Amino acid sequence: MSQRTPYEEAIALLARREYTRSELEERLLRHEHPPEEVSALLDRLAEDNLQSDARFVEHFVRSRIARLQGPRKISAELSGRGIERDMIAQALEESDADWTSLAAEALQRRFDGPGDDMKARAKRQRFLASRGFDGQQCSSAMRLAWLS
C-alpha cells in the first residue's frame, strides 16, 4: 500500500468533518509529511475554501449551543483547537445566543426544581459553571428556570 500525499490525506480528513488549520497541520505532521509542504498545502486549501477556520468556528459554536453549553466552555474548547481569541469573541457575539435562557433550559433538563437548601442550590450553580456559564448567567438562570 502506498503512502498518501499530504493533499490526499487532508482531503480524506476534511471529507469526514471540518478541521481547524491547527488541527489539520498537527495531523499531517504526525504522518511525517514535510513541514514546508504541509504549510503550503494548508495555504492552498484555505485559498480554495476547502478549509476555513471561520466556517469551523461557526459550526462549532452552533453545535455547542445546541448542547446547551455556555460561552466560557465553548471559548476554552476553541482556544484548545488553535483558534484566535478575536475570532472566538466575534463568533460568540454573532451567535446571538441568549445565554441565560440556555442555562435555564440546562437546569430544567437536569433538575426537577431549584433545590430546598443552600447545598442543593450550590450544586445547581456548580452544574452550570461546569457547562461554561458565568456567575451572572448562573444567578439569572436560577431565577428564570422554574418560573411558570
CATH number at residue 19: 1.10.10
In a domain, 62, yes or no: yes
For the cut 90, the answer to whether the pLDDT of residue 109 exceeds it is yes
Q: What sign has the CA pseudo-torsion 137, 139, 142, 145?
A: negative
Q: Is residue 84 helix, strand or coil?
A: coil
Co-location of 43 and 58 in the same domain: no
Q: What is the mean pLDDT of the chain?
A: 93
| Helix 71-80, helix 53-66: angle, nearest 10 | 140
Model confidence pLDDT, tens digit, residues 18-44: 999 999 999 999 988 899 999 999 999
In a domain, 1, yes or no: no
* pLDDT number for residue 148: 52
* pLDDT number for residue 146: 82
Domain that holds residue 78: 53-94
Q: Could you tell me if 76 and 129 are in contact, meaning their C-beta atoms sit under 8 angstroms apart?
A: no
* pLDDT number for residue 32: 87
In a domain, 16, yes or no: yes
Co-location of 111 and 130 in the same domain: yes
DSSP track, 126-138: HHHHHTT--HHHH
Domain count across the chain:
3
Enter the pTM of the model.
0.88
